[in-house]
Amino acid sequence: MGWIDYTIIAIYLVGLLAMGLAFRHQHNSREYFLGGRTIPWPALSLSVMATQLSAISFISAPAFVGLREGGGLIWLSYELALPFAVLLMLWRLLPTLHQSGVVSVYDFLERRFERSTRLLISFVFQLSRSFATAIMIYAISLILQGTMGLEQWHSIVVIGVITLVYSAMGGMKAVVFGDAIQMIIILAGALTCLFVALDVIGGVDAALALIDSDRMEAVNIDSLGLNGNDFGLLPMLFGGIVLYASYYGCDQSEAQRSLSAHSVKDLRKVMYTVALSRFPITVIYCTTGLVIGALVLNTPSLAAQIPAEQPDWMMPVFIINYLPEGVIGLLVVAIMAAAMSSLSSAINSLAAVTTEDFCRYKGHEPSDDEYMRFARTAGIGWGLVTLVLSLFAGDIAPTIIEAINKIGSVFYGPVLATFLLGIHSKTITAKAANIGLLLGVFSNTFLWLSDNPIFWFWWNAIGFAVTVLSGHLANRLIPTSNKATPQASFAGLNTRMIVVLLIWSAVLLYICFNLSAWLA
């Protein structure tokens, strides 16, 4: 890297700090955590996609497709679940949460059940989100270590401290507009790597001749996912529906953007955009992985630079070896942008949950100044926690993208089930919901710790089913000493959206089934 690269990186980081400073004037929780519900829906759409199509996707999705043993375009079958998940979310879940006026989605569970339910599921969220964020920061610190020559802890400080400052000062507006800029940079970075790799190999035909045909298979209908990580269609589809619906609808880090929409109409536009846009963007990441992976596997000197059993190094090694000065700086900015997008979202959402849970309680309504001091302190506190955890984070799966989704699969099914029980059932009590949630998480934890051969994507559906069934059973067997308070529910779907999303699902399925034949 040359002085041009470092100058580009410095300008970008200073710009983020300036943006946080520009958005620093917030006076209450709705302004700080929801942007006053004045953020345009296109910016919210980009922010939603940037958070998940983040550093993990930019680095690890291409590594999974291009280098990971047993990987390939099979990852695309995961995307088949999103349109169905959006239909599930907009049926009742997200519109109901938006209309309830809550800042923390878990506040809704306290209104529907009782405070114990809110605190329980809030703890589950904070545990899973802080751990997942720590793994992501750890991974990106290794990437910056390889590209910029920084020590690991220096990388963590560069990413973490600057993100902490701009997100703590600017609140949700800084997070969303920062994400929107970062999403554009990330996508431009992936396209740049793709075109440069194609040029190095000698064009599309030369690349296709080098790519292993097994990696071009996008759908596996031969496996039920009962014998390990074989990425069968059914677990990817049914597990993916639960995972996506829970992540976008019940995980504070994503749902907070939906709550920030001006109206249910804008909320519908946000999720509609995400449902239609994610697949093309994921195809770009995966295609980039196929081409660069083929280049690495056929260039021994390049393959030797990637540590054994760490395919996530593929992208940074390619960037350093093949991109010119100046462009490397832009790509490093893209990696840092992706990492900061995820970290800023996690910090803001963790701070929102903590502040709402501990600063507001029965008999105590804080002043706006007290609330804002607590909110910023909570944001800085959670940022420091995730940064410290990232110093000790280790590998859970062959690639980072699998590790993050594996962690989420333990919790997402039970969490989604708890919200849907609260919205769709008027008879489920708080005690029954709590039992269902605990048993759902326990069952998935047991599957993980017992090294059960069931593919971890199934954990999402298993945890969901266990929570629903045990919740209903507990509701029948345990006396209803605590009464639940039914909440009004709202729909966010219309016939046109249903038809378009179902047609889009059919189109995606057709593409995935025929992709290998088209590329042959």
Using CA atoms, how far apart are residues 185 and 183, in angstroms rounded to an integer?
5
The reported pLDDT for the residue numbered 439 is 96
Where do we find the tokens 């047609």? Answer: 503
Whether residue 492 has pLDDT greater than 80: no
The reported pLDDT for the residue numbered 152 is 62
The reported pLDDT for the residue numbered 24 is 53
Whether residue 116 has pLDDT greater than 70: yes
Binned at pLDDT 50, 70 and 90, residue 402 comes out as confident
Binned at pLDDT 50, 70 and 90, residue 434 comes out as very high
Largest separation between any pair of C-alpha atoms in the chain: 72
150 burial (CB, 10 Å; 0-12 / 13-18 / 19+) is middle
For every residue of 432-491, DSSP letters joined together read: HHHHHHHHHHHHHHHHHHTT-SS-TTHHHHHHHHHHHHHHHHHHHHS---S---------
Alpha carbon distances (Å) from 94 to 25, 148, 372, 493: 28, 42, 26, 11
Question: What domain range includes position 41?
Answer: 3-519
Using CA atoms, how far apart are residues 84 and 244, in angstroms rounded to an integer?
9
Q: How many domains does the chain have?
A: 1
Where do we find the tokens 């059932």? Answer: 425
For every residue of 485-520, DSSP letters joined together read: ----------HHHHHHHHHHHHHHHHHHHHHHHHH-
Encoded tokens for 467? 């929570």
209 burial (CB, 10 Å; 0-12 / 13-18 / 19+) is exposed
The contacts of residue 82 (CB under 8 Å, 6+ apart) are 240, 244, 274, 275, 278, 279
Using CA atoms, how far apart are residues 271 and 277, in angstroms rounded to an integer?
10
CATH code for position 239: 1.20.1730.10
The contacts of residue 149 (CB under 8 Å, 6+ apart) are 1
Are the C-beta atoms of residues 179 and 344 closer than 8 Å to each other? Answer: yes
Encoded tokens for 519? 């590329």
Using CA atoms, how far apart are residues 469 and 47, in angstroms rounded to an integer?
35
Binned at pLDDT 50, 70 and 90, residue 32 comes out as low
Q: How many CA atoms lie within 13 A of 250 on its CB side?
A: 31
The reported pLDDT for the residue numbered 412 is 93
The reported pLDDT for the residue numbered 313 is 83
- Alpha-carbon 412 to chain mean position: 12
Lowest-pLDDT choice from 56-65, 273-282, 346-355, 446-455:
346-355
- Mean pLDDT (the chain) is 80
Using CA atoms, how far apart are residues 35 and 31, in angstroms rounded to an integer?
4
Where do we find the tokens 């970075």? Answer: 189
Where do we find the tokens 């593919």? Answer: 455
The reported pLDDT for the residue numbered 236 is 92
215 burial (CB, 10 Å; 0-12 / 13-18 / 19+) is buried
The reported pLDDT for the residue numbered 36 is 60
Q: List, for residues 38-55, the tens digit of each pLDDT value.
A: 778 888 888 777 766 666
Give the pTM: 0.84
Name the 3-class secondary structure at 220: coil
Q: List, for residues 341-393, the tens digit of each pLDDT value.
A: 666 667 767 777 777 766 665 555 667 677 677 777 777 777 777 777 766 65
The reported pLDDT for the residue numbered 167 is 55
The contacts of residue 12 (CB under 8 Å, 6+ apart) are 333, 336, 337
Pure H helices in 367-399: 368-390
Q: List, for residues 166-194, the tens digit of each pLDDT value.
A: 555 545 566 666 667 777 777 888 898 99
Angle between helices 3-22 and 327-358 in degrees, nearest 10: 30
Q: List, for residues 456-470, the tens digit of each pLDDT value.
A: 999 999 999 999 999
Residue 361 is given by DSSP the state B
Average pLDDT over residues 97-119: 83
